[in-house]
């Protein structure tokens, strides 16, 4: 895919085990379910916890800046007024607790794609498919620092495609990504729910790869 951004820094705070056994894995699935429901009180509660980690843990130290523009990543279908946009609620909650300066909802889904969480491995949307289904609305201001905000990251295909679209519109901006929860699908289970990290999502061998 031509024009794809080669790598973006990313951070995450919680982990999710799709199929692991045990109390922590079950709690991780409950967290994901509550997150997808988009309750504003729930979002604020976890935004406060992200701020605490940004202040107290070396894993998230310095990731958020006061002047950051937080850009929510669209869901798998074009947004309809009145419907819950989870990433938008999360971005607003993060700004509300002091992580970033403002939200900007100028990244839009113009064509529906299959949900990665419900698709079989061979049917999940590619980076290219995500990229073609996204667009950027015009903006009067060119932000210097952008943080893409998503609820859950799996491989990072959506975030890499979103970053590529944003880079086209704002070529001089510093772009990174934050997902509240990251999927741990290749491990038997997880030992703790809160596990902040900073890492990278890369374009490699025609696909997105997340580390860690």
CATH number at residue 104: 3.40.50
The rounded percent of the chain whose pLDDT value lies above 70 is: 97
Q: What is the pLDDT of residue 1?
A: 65
CB 47 within 8 A of CB 99: yes
Structurally, the chain folds into a number of domains equal to 1
pLDDT of residue 52: 96
pLDDT tens digits, one per residue of 97-146: 999 999 999 999 999 999 876 667 677 899 999 999 999 999 988 999 99
Residue 82 lies in a domain: yes
Assess contact for 162 and 148: CB atoms under 8 A: yes
Instruction: State the pLDDT at residue 37.
Output: 93
Give the domain range for residue 197.
7-211
On whether the CB atoms of residues 73 and 148 are closer than 8 A, the answer is: yes
Residue tagged 């704002």 (tokens) = 170
The span from the CA of 101 to the CA of 135, in Å, is 23
pLDDT given at position 123:
79
Structure tokens at 144: 């210097």
Answer whether residue 1 is part of any domain: no
The mean per-residue pLDDT over the stretch 25-48 comes to: 94
2 pLDDT above the threshold of 80? no
Task: Provide the pLDDT for residue 117.
Answer: 66
Q: Mapping DSSP to helix (H, G, I), strand (E, B) and coil, where does residue 55 land? A: helix
Across residues 71-78, what is the average pLDDT? 96
For range 187-209, the mean pLDDT: 94
What CA–CA distance (Å, rounded) separates 49 from 44?
Answer: 9
Average per-residue pLDDT for the chain: 94
Omega before residue 64 within 30° of 0, cis: no
β-partners of residue 108 are 135
210: nearest Cα among 113, 90, 74, 116: 116
Over the stretch 160-177, which tens digit does the pLDDT of each residue have? 999 999 999 999 999 999
User: Residue 118's pLDDT is what?
Assistant: 65
Residue 2 lies in a domain: no
Question: Residue 144 domain-assigned?
Answer: yes
């Amino acid at each position: 895919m031509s024009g794809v951004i080669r790598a973006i820094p990313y951070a995450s705070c919680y982990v999710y085990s799709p199929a692991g056994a045990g109390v922590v894995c079950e709690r991780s699935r409950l967290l994901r379910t509550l997150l997808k429901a988009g309750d504003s009180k729930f979002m604020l509660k976890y935004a406060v916890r992200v701020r605490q980690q940004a202040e107290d843990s070396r894993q998230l130290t310095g990731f958020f800046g006061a002047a950051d523009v937080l850009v929510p990543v669209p869901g798998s279908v074009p947004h309809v007024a009145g419907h819950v946009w989870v990433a938008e609620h999360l971005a607003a909650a993060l700004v509300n607790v002091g992580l970033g300066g403002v939200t900007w909802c100028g990244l839009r889904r113009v064509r529906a794609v299959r949900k990665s969480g419900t698709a079989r491995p061979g049917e999940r949307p590619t980076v290219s498919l995500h990229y073609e289904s996204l667009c950027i609305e015009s903006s009067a201001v060119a932000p210097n620092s952008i943080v893409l905000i998503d609820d859950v990251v799996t491989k990072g295909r959506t975030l890499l495609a979103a970053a590529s679209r944003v880079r086209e519109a704002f070529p001089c901006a510093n772009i990174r990504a934050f997902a509240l929860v990251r999927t741990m699908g290749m491990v038997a289970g997880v030992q703790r729910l809160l596990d902040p990290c900073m890492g990278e999502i890369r374009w490699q061998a025609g696909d997105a790869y997340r580390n860690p």
